[in-house]
């Protein structure tokens, strides 16, 4: 059976030693009272909940899956999920970082980030149920009417009700401009009330019995809507209409008509949803629904990156434990334990390479994920307009990297970790094959990783002539200049600086090519995002190495082995993973011609 131990020591390293989160929060009036002890207490309790309540349901939930009663359209999640959700609500976890004006605790987003990393390690499928509620909350908080906020935000904040986002339709995935769901005004009803008719698919947690009500945020077209994405409006459609006292009232005709039978996250109900004149209220302005929904979509993209991070961590933990216990063959350089019939497989170089790959991607991903959460805290809480814009721009730049790079890495890492188990990796009881299956979907939903790559290169970089990328690049330049004369840091600083220069040159080259042929962006985008992902990781790994070196020097011989391990992992990353960028730069420069030259009839 797999195990999971919350990575509290590494989280504390990132929070307190790398990013100095409590000092940063003291500059924000909303969070000025948050100190390191408070942060540690919260993440410790979050880790206990994830490991003790949610993790034991992971394999059983995958095996049992969800069940649909076609007569009633009700969906039953796996055994134990409802009880775990009740304990989640009882513990106040849904309200952790929501607005106190609506019943929230008002704690920083960085704490919610740590909570959700651990929940995703413990049980990604279960975490899908409360996970989307945060995005629904943020969307309504930003674009809802005062009446919508007063009625629905306290319910989402407490976890009493959950939320979904209903975008995709059978004939259109990412291309939402093609959607057909219709919304028509209800005669005699309050202004902004509509009846929606249509079909949605791939709706995560679209139907379940964990909460008393489900709030669906639905994209649809008004009767006078222009064609394409400029004619999309956003509506809030509850499963049960709210009664006068705010409790669930009359059943709304939005039903689950089918469950998707998936490769992974089987404990999550992925629903086909039918709207048959379901009553909803307009969120935001008519025909401006896509912009409003982007609040939730961006939150979901960061959330999916966090799913990849969670799976990378738990897969690494189990593979490392197995490699230190499993005996097979002898070390090539001679027996390491002559008194035993064979050495443990951790003596083999390639086993170590697979383990260190997963570890480097987990620890680098954690640093990036907490960093972007801190940026969001600053964006939401600062009184400085310039700082707010700076943080928002950096979040926009890093979001597609978090979503795509972390989930690509999770696919690599979970596959490697399953490989460490050999034949046992295919056996369900060990849990590894489930981590691989669960990891694969994260590269697809909430905008495929190719879509994220196009967003990064086409919109976030070339769209503003590289302004956002240059702003992040200044962090790297400042760090390189600070450490330029530190001999101990040269093995980290030099490759970081070199890659920064190469990214600048590559970006300019691709921008010039795109002027002549826009398809050049599509031909290079996936490679380009992975290059930028490594640039970001190299920056954080160099910073982590700096902290570890300083601590080792301070503590001397016999110091905390944590810092020794951090340095070993940093050196592995720069020696074995960062060089991938050389090949990626070459393929990005090769242009679109090798992809588009062959006539489609020959495929």
Calpha distance 320→458 (Å, rounded): 39
446 an active-site residue? Answer: yes
Which residues are registered as beta bridge partners of 274? 199, 255
The residue from 446, 478, 487, 520 that is catalytic is: 446
- β-pairing, 193-204 vs 270-283, is antiparallel
Q: Which of 50, 47, 46, 69 is nearest to 58 (CA)?
A: 50
Q: Which of 99, 109, 25, 38 is nearest to 382 (CA)?
A: 25
> Assign residue 422 a region: left if phi > 0, alpha if psi is -120 to 50, beta otherwise?
left
4-to-114, 319, 320, 423 alpha-carbon distances in Å: 15, 11, 12, 21
The structure tokens listed for 602 are: 């020959």
Calpha distance 190→603 (Å, rounded): 55
Burial code of 271-293, b = ≥16 C-beta within 10 A, e = fewer? bbbbbeebbbbbbbeebbbbebb
198 backbone dihedrals φ, ψ, rounded to 5°: 160, -170
Burial code of 400-415, b = ≥16 C-beta within 10 A, e = fewer? bbbbbbbbbbbbbbbb
Burial code of 444-472, b = ≥16 C-beta within 10 A, e = fewer? ebbbebbbbbbbbbbebbbeeebebbeeb
User: SS3 for 96?
Assistant: coil
User: For 464-485, what is the HEC assignment?
Assistant: HCCHHHHHHHHHHHHHHHHHCC
Give the list of residues 6+ apart from residue 291 with CB closer than 8 angstroms, or none: 284
User: For 372-418, what is the HEC assignment?
Assistant: HHHHHHHHHHCCCHHHHHHHHHHHHHHHHHHHHHHHHHHHHHHHHHH
User: SS3 for 259?
Assistant: strand
User: SS3 for 551?
Assistant: helix
Q: Which residues are catalytic?
A: 446
């Amino acid at each position: 059976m797999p195990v999971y131990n919350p990575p509290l020591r590494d989280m504390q390293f990132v929070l307190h030693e790398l990013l100095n989160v409590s000092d940063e929060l003291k500059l924000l009036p909303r969070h000025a009272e948050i100190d390191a002890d408070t942060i540690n207490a919260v993440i410790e309790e979050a880790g206990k909940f994830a490991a003790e309540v949610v993790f034991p349901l992971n394999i059983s939930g995958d095996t049992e899956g969800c069940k649909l009663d076609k007569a009633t359209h009700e969906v039953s999640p796996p055994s134990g999920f409802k009880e775990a959700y009740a304990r989640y609500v009882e513990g106040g976890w849904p309200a952790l970082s929501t607005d106190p004006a609506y019943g929230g605790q008002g704690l920083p987003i960085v704490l919610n980030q740590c909570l959700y990393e651990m929940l995703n390690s413990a049980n990604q499928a279960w975490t899908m149920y409360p996970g989307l509620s945060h995005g629904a909350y943020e969307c309504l908080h930003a674009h809802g009417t005062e009446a919508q906020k007063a009625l629905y935000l306290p319910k989402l904040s407490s976890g009493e009700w959950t939320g979904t986002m209903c975008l995709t339709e059978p004939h259109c995935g990412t291309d939402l401009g093609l959607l057909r769901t219709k919304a028509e005004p209800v005669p005699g009803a309050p202004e902004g009330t509509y009846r929606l008719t249509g079909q949605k698919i791939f709706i995560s947690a679209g139907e379940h019995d964990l909460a008393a009500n489900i709030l669906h945020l639905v994209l649809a077209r008004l009767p006078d809507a222009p064609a394409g994405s400029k004619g999309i409006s956003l509506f809030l459609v509850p499963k049960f209409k709210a009664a006068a006292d705010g409790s669930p009232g009359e059943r709304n005709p939005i039903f689950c008509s089918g469950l998707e039978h998936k490769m992974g996250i089987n404990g999550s109900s992925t629903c086909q949803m039918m709207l048959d004149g379901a009553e909803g209220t307009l969120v935001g302005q008519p025909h401006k629904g896509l912009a409003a929904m982007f609040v939730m979509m961006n939150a979901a993209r960061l959330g999916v990156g966090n799913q990849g991070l969670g799976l990378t961590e738990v897969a690494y933990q189990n593979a490392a434990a197995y490699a230190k216990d499993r005996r097979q063959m002898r070390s090539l350089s001679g027996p390491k334990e002559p008194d035993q019939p064979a050495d443990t497989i951790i003596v083999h170089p390639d086993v170590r390479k697979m383990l260190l790959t997963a570890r480097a991607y987990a620890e680098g991903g954690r640093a990036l994920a907490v960093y972007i959460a801190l940026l969001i805290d600053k964006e939401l809480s600062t009184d400085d307009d310039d700082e707010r814009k700076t943080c928002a721009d950096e979040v926009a730049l890093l979001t597609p990297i978090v979503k795509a790079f972390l989930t690509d890495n999770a696919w690599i890492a979970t596959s490697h970790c399953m490989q460490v188990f050999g034949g046992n990796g295919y056996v369900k009881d060990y849990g590894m094959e489930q981590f691989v299956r669960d990891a694969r979907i994260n590269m697809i939903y909430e905008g495929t990783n190719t879509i994220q790559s196009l967003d990064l290169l086409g919109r976030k970089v070339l769209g503003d002539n590289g302004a956002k990328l240059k702003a992040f690049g200044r962090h790297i330049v400042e760090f390189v200049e600070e450490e330029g004369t530190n001999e101990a840091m040269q093995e980290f600083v030099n490759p970081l600086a070199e890659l920064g220069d190469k990214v600048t040159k590559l970006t300019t080259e691709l921008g010039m090519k795109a002027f002549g042929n826009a398809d050049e962006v599509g031909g290079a985008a996936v490679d380009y995002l992975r290059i930028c992902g490594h640039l970001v990781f190299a920056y954080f790994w160099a910073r982590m190495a700096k902290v570890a070196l300083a601590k080792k020097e301070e503590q001397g011989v016999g110091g905390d082995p944590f810092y020794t391990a951090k340095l070993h992992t940093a050196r592995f990353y720069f020696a074995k993973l960062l060089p991938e960028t050389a090949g990626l730069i070459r393929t990005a420069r090769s242009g679109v011609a090798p992809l588009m030259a062959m006539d489609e009839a020959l495929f």
